[in-house]
């Protein structure tokens, strides 16, 4: 039977430097939960210690001595804790307010020593940049400690158990100049770490991430290859590092390929796209349900355009994988960049069905093409419904446009018109192509007056728009001189 402790105590331990602006959010999110907040300041000059004290935290000053070492500072902070449990928070974190009671119930359990929470990072655009389960709540007095100069890891002798507690991390959502400064600091720390531990594959991966963000792609690929060639897969942690390396390799290769395509170097671009696809396949050979590589593989195959059914399989597998991972999370260091990008998965699946419909239509398989257009419309509709509020306008425009086009191909003209109206409602100004397409839909519904009205509105915006000129003439309308 699961044993429950009635009133377990919790100490929130933080290491901070120049987090005065962020402290009210992070401490405010845990204050009602914990018995004490311990803040170890490593050398702030923005008034962080004073702000922390005003918020009720106990503050201890431990300026960095010699090279930065995040684990050393974190272990110092935890040395001040005397409570039953230690809750780990960073200065730029926020605990989901609705999860406070869940954390209390976890601390009352006596059958688990280490709880992993879902850390959700955001980027500079405010979009989700990655999710992974990290040990954030663990029992005090068990001898657990932190290791690693940067990207430190908790070393425990107890199993780690995942819980549905969400922690939002805003450390990757800084302004570009601040992010570059952060990446450069991490690069210096990682150079020192790898000089001391040349076979630390996890830190080779972290260094590759930093180099990639600093646009040093060639150097990043070299560090990724060190991991790919040498890392064992004898544990879930080592396997996770290898999977993340293969995904990052695929991302970098795709980025290079897109740059070459923009330069019209088609042959070299095709080679890079193929290398990206190969990296995805290698990762899926290790873990066939790795969401990031399933998503990217579907996107790459869609771009190729000659195997739509393979893209359908990859996208379906991605959607199934994220559902499974949410239901049964795995407590290791695997960062999932696409955990909550269902809308993008449905969009890529819609694209795959759309391409299949085009191929089948060309081959004279009209019935199957119609079914594929129906499936494409269904998936584009799911993408629209699941799109986040802060999605880029260009992406939202693309989603609506694909949905409306497929609805038209299915003969669902009234739904197509309503979708075009939705596009017009979110646009800063009307787009002639949308108005022209609405006119086409009204024409198919045998409503020539409304069709001509749409064509004329399109021509008011662009008097030389050839499609609207032609369609207005076909609809019996006069073209203004």
User: What is the per-residue pLDDT for 345?
Assistant: 95
pLDDT at 58: 95
Q: For 97-132, what is each residue's pLDDT tens digit?
A: 999 999 999 999 999 999 999 888 876 555 556 788
Number of H helices and E strands in the chain, helices first, is 18, 10
pLDDT of 3 > 60? The answer is no
Confidence of residue 381 (pLDDT cuts 50, 70, 90): very high
pLDDT score of 481 more than 50 = no
pLDDT (0 to 100) of residue 64: 79
- DSSP letters, 248-306, are HHHHHHHHHHHHHHHTT-HHHHHHHHHHHHHHHHHHHHH-TT-HHHHHHHHHHHHHH-S
Q: What is the pLDDT of residue 5?
A: 59
Q: What is the mean pLDDT of residues 389-395?
A: 83
Residue carrying the six token digits 């106990």: 58
Structure tokens at 308: 């739509």
What does the pLDDT average to over 20-46? 93
Q: Is pLDDT at 251 greater than 80 in this prediction?
A: yes
CA-CA distance, 434 to 423, in Å (whole number)? Answer: 8
Instruction: Name the pTM for this structure.
Output: 0.85
pLDDT at residue 6 in the model: 65
For 448, the 3-state DSSP assignment is helix
In angstroms, rounded to a whole number, what is the distance separating the alpha carbons of residues 210 and 213? 5
Token pair recorded at residue 46: 């923005």
Residue-wise pLDDT tens digits, 310-328: 999 999 999 999 999 888 8
**What is the rounded distance in angstroms from the CA atom of residue 163 to the CA atom of residue 184?**
33
Measured from the Cβ of residue 52, the count of other Cβ atoms closer than 10 Å reads: 26
**For tokens 């960049």, what's the residue?**
337
Looking at the chain, the whole-number percentage of residues with pLDDT higher than 70 is 95
The angle subtended at Cα 230 by Cα 224 and Cα 236, nearest 5°, is 85
Under the banding of pLDDT at 50, 70 and 90, the label for residue 176 is: confident
Could you tell me which residues come within 8 angstroms of residue 130 by beta carbon, excluding any fewer than 6 positions away? 120, 121, 335, 336, 337, 339
- The Cα–Cα gap between 45 and 43 comes to 7
Whole-number mean pLDDT of the chain? 90
> Around Cβ 414, how many Cβ atoms within 10 Å?
12
DSSP code at position 470: H
Q: Give the pLDDT confidence score for residue 430 in this predicted structure.
A: 85
User: In Å, how far are 2, 213, 217, 225, 319 from 293, measured between CA atoms?
Assistant: 38, 19, 19, 17, 12
Which range (1-5, 158-162, 200-204, 453-457) has the least confidence? 1-5
- Residues 76-104 as b/e (b if ≥16 CB within 10 A, e otherwise) read bbbeebebbbbbbbbbbbbbbeebbebbe
Confidence of residue 388 (pLDDT cuts 50, 70, 90): confident
DSSP conformational letter for 91: T
- Which range of 68-77, 154-163, 270-279, 332-341 scores highest in mean pLDDT? It is 270-279
pLDDT score, position 133? 87
Q: CATH number of the domain at 10-173, out of 3.30.420.10, 3.90.550.10, 3.60.20.10, 3.40.50.300? A: 3.90.550.10
Longest dimension (CA), the chain: 86
Whether the per-residue pLDDT at 4 is higher than 60: the answer is: no
Residues, the chain, total?
481
Ramachandran area for residue 210 (φ above 0: left; ψ -120 to 50: alpha; else beta): alpha
The answer to whether residue 174 scores a pLDDT higher than 80 is: no
Distance of alpha carbon 215 from alpha carbon 83, whole angstroms: 45
Rounded CA gap, 334 and 88, in Å?
19
Q: How far apart are CA 323 and CA 313, in angstroms?
A: 16
Does pLDDT of 220 surpass 90? yes
Q: Which tokens belong to 111? A: 């059958």
- Determine the Cα–Cα distance for residues 468 and 438; give it in Å rounded to an integer: 11
β-sheet bridge partners, residue 138: 86, 114
Q: Which one-letter DSSP state was computed for residue 36? A: E
Q: What is the pLDDT of residue 210?
A: 93
Q: Is the pLDDT of residue 309 over 50?
A: yes
**pLDDT per residue as tens digits for the range 178-213:** 889 888 988 988 898 899 889 989 899 999 999 999
CA 138 to chain CA mean position, Å: 27
Q: How far is the C-alpha of 458 from the C-alpha of 72, rounded, in Å?
A: 65
Q: Which two tokens stand for residue 363?
A: 């081959």
Phi, psi dihedral angles at 209 (to 5 degrees): -60, -45
């Amino acid at each position: 039977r699961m044993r429950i402790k009635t009133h377990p105590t919790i100490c929130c331990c933080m290491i901070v430097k120049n987090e005065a602006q962020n402290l009210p959010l992070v401490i405010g999110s845990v204050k009602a939960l914990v018995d004490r907040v311990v803040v170890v300041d490593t050398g702030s000059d923005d008034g962080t210690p004073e702000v922390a004290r005003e918020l009720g935290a106990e503050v201890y000053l431990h300026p960095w001595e010699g090279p930065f070492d995040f684990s050393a500072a974190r272990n110092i902070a935890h040395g001040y804790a005397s409570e039953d449990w230690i809750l780990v928070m960073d200065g730029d974190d926020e605990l989901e307010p609705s999860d406070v009671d869940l954390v209390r119930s976890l601390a009352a359990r006596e059958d688990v020593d280490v709880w992993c929470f879902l850390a959700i990072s955001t980027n500079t655009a405010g979009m989700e940049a990655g999710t992974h389960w990290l040990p954030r709540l663990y029992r005090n007095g068990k001898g657990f400690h932190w290791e690693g100069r940067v990207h430190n890891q908790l070393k425990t002798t107890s199993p780690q158990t995942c819980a549905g507690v969400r922690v939002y991390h805003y450390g990757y959502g800084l302004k570009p100049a601040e992010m570059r400064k952060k990446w450069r600091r991490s690069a210096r720390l990682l150079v020192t770490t790898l000089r001391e531990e040349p076979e630390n594959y996890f830190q080779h991966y972290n260094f590759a991430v930093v180099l990639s963000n600093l646009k040093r792609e060639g150097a990043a690929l070299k560090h990724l290859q060190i991991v790919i060639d040498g890392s064992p897969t004898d544990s879930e942690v080592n396997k996770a590092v290898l999977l993340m390396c293969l995904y990052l390799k695929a991302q970098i290769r795709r980025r290079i390929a897109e740059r070459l395509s923009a330069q019209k170097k088609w042959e070299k671009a095709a080679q890079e796209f193929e290398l990206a696809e190969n990296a995805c396949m290698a990762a899926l050979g290790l873990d066939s349900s790795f969401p990031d590589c399933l998503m990217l593989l579907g996107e790459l195959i869609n771009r190729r355009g000659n195997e739509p059914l393979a893209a359908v399989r990859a996208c379906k597998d991605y959607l199934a994988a994220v559902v499974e991972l949410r239901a049964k999370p795995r407590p290791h260091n695997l960062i999932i960049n696409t955990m909550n990008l269902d809308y993008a998965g449905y969009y890529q699946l819609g694209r795959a069905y759309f391409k299949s419909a085009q191929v089948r239509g060309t081959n004279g398989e009209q019935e199957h093409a119609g079914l594929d257009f129906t499936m494409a419309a269904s998936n584009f509709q799911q993408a629209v419904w699941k799109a986040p509020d802060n999605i880029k306008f260009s992406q939202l425009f693309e989603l609506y446009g694909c949905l409306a086009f497929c609805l038209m191909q299915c003969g669902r003209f009234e739904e197509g018109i309503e979708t075009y109206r939705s596009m017009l409602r979110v646009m800063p100004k009307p787009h002639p192509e949308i108005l022209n397409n609405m006119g086409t839909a009204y024409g198919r519904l045998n409503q020539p007056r409304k069709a001509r009205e749409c064509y004329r509105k399109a021509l008011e915006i662009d008097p030389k728009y050839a499609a609207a000129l032609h369609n207005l003439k076909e609809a019996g309308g006069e073209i203004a001189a």
